[in-house]
């Protein structure tokens, strides 16, 4: 099996599992208890928080809150900020956010909020000028994802936060960092960003654990009320093993950052170049360099994405069309539509997303097998005339 769907989820690193196991068996004490038996889990949470602080590049571990996933981090940030600032009823976000952000704003629209959705160009780059023009005195929140899950495009969130704070200091800036965490350094203390959410299962921790970075002066209401855990901001007995796993995954991600930025990128670039060279109906949906190093989104013109995925699956390759949350529906991706990807490629677009566990051999295997798959699929496509024209135009 060749796993090239690491933006959907990742394998739990062995080192992560090993660190978690004691807290799933013998070390089961509630970390809030008074006896000595609770000291080890309580200390393990403290250590994990320090590691996650460093992963974010934050100043203080008090700025880190553990959550259950990226969706919870986004909801905690958005609902928490808006609940604390009820006079301001305007929100700016983008057309290419993940559904956990977009659908939260749709909900706020129903409550009477006004939301501006900023567009992207054909390469998936955000229209930052449009965003700046939409900023108002009553803008409560500006919300831009750090990296897009489908294209890997990195948005200039640091520049956006600078602009927002210098023109409207009270406006909060939330960044969904789920696809950036572990792929590029975050270094939030050097930025004016107020809140950043991440999700452990995107960087080799298990599913069911995430974190939210919150700058000290940001006021939030909790999403989950109850006990004192997470300093009253997220009640519920701490998920000690998963918090420990997140800490270890964060540490490993920092250790492997250089590898991610060089070796993973080299394999991604090789995969892209190999497919574009050998498959006449392949087009890069975005080829900009300012992308996370592991992600490639390739459109295969005049063929159906689901069929490509099934054929890839038959040869043991896992990839995806659209995000995991939208695949399963035949709706083309809202991200690719926002980019204006031509309909001829929209339905046949495939996302390959690598991790540090992928090898050169695996990439070579996909490059070698892609032409035969495309040969089969183009033969059964109803667009034979268009395909012939394309083949000639591309000189195949």
Burial of 121 (0-12, 13-18, 19+ CB in 10 A): middle
Residue (157 or 390) nearer to ligand PLP, CB: 157
DSSP 221: -
Nearest to 7 by CA among 147, 189, 111: 147
Instruction: Tell me how far CA of residue 370 lies from CA of 207, 273, 317, 333, in angstroms.
Output: 31, 12, 11, 22
Of 41 and 152, nearer to ligand PLP (C-beta) is 152
Q: Which is nearer to ligand PLP, 71 or 93 (CB)?
A: 71
Residue 246's nearest CA partner among 213, 215, 214, 202 is: 202
Residues 241-270 that bind ligand PLP (CB under 6 A): none
In angstroms, the CA 126 to CA 257 distance is 25
Query: Reduced to 3 states, what is the DSSP secondary structure of residue 58?
Result: coil
**Shortest approach of ligand PLP to residue 186 CB, angstroms?**
14
Give the chain's length: 396
State yes or no: residue 100 binds ligand PLP (CB under 6 A): yes
The residue number whose beta carbon is nearest to ligand PLP equals: 70
Kindly identify the residues of this chain, within the stretch 150-209, that bind ligand PLP according to CB under 6 A. 176, 178-179, 199, 201
DSSP state of 215: -
Say whether residue 294 binds ligand PLP (CB under 6 A): no
Among 140, 145, 211, 370, binds ligand PLP (CB under 6 A): 145
Minimum CB separation from ligand PLP for residue 1, in Å? Answer: 21
325 is catalytic: yes
Closest to 306 in 3D by CA, of 288, 282, 332: 332
- Asked if 52 and 247 touch (Cβ cutoff 8 Å), the reply is yes
Task: Determine if 210 is a binding residue for ligand PLP (CB under 6 A).
Answer: yes
- Find the part of the chain contacting ligand PLP (CB under 6 A) among 38-46, 66-74, 116-124, 292-300: 66-74
Question: Is 66 or 280 the residue whose CB approaches ligand PLP more closely?
Answer: 66
Q: Which of 69, 84, 100, 325 is catalytic?
A: 325
List interacting residues with ligand PLP (CB under 6 A). 69-71, 98, 100, 145, 149, 176, 178-179, 199, 201, 210, 323-324
Catalytic residue numbers, as ranges = 325
């Amino acid at each position: 099996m060749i796993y090239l769907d690491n933006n959907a989820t990742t394998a739990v690193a062995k080192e992560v599992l090993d660190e978690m196991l004691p807290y799933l068996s013998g070390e089961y004490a509630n970390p809030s208890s008074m006896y000595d038996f609770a000291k080890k889990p309580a200390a393990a949470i403290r250590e994990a928080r320090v590691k996650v602080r460093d992963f974010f590049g934050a100043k203080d571990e008090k700025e880190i809150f553990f959550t259950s996933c990226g969706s919870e981090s986004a909801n905690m940030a958005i609902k928490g900020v808006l609940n604390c600032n009820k006079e301001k009823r305007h929100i700016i976000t983008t057309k290419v956010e993940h559904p956990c952000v977009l659908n939260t704003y749709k909900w706020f629209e129903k409550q009477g909020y006004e939301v501006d959705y900023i567009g992207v160009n054909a390469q998936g780059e955000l229209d930052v000028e449009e965003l700046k023009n939409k900023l108002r005195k009553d803008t409560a929140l500006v919300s831009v994802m750090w990296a897009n899950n489908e294209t890997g495009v990195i948005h200039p969130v640091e520049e956006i936060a600078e602009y927002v704070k210098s023109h409207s200091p009270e406006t909060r800036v939330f960044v969904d960092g789920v696809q950036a965490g572990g792929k590029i350094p975050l270094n939030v203390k050097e930025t004016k960003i107020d809140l950043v959410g991440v999700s452990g299962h995107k960087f080799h921790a298990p599913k069911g654990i995430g974190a939210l970075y919150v700058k000290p002066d940001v006021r939030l209401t909790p999403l989950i009320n109850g006990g004192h855990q997470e300093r009253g901001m997220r009640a519920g007995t701490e998920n000690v093993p998963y918090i420990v796993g997140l800490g270890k995954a964060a540490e490993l991600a920092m250790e492997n950052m250089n590898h991610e930025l060089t070796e993973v990128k080299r394999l991604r670039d090789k995969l892209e170049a190999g497919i574009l060279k050998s498959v006449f109906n392949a087009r890069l949906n975005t080829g900009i360099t300012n992308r996370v190093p592991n992600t490639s989104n390739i459109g295969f013109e005049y063929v159906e994405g689901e069929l490509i995925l099934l054929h890839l699956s038959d040869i043991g390759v896992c990839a995806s069309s659209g995000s995991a949350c939208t695949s399963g529906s035949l709706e083309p991706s809202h991200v690719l539509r926002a980019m204006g990807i031509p309909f001829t490629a929209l339905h046949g677009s495939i996302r390959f997303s690598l991790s540090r566990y992928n090898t050169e051999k695996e990439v070579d295997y996909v490059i070698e097998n892609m032409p035969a798959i495309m040969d089969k699929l183009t033969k059964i496509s109803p667009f034979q005339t268009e395909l012939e024209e394309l083949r000639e135009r591309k000189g195949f």
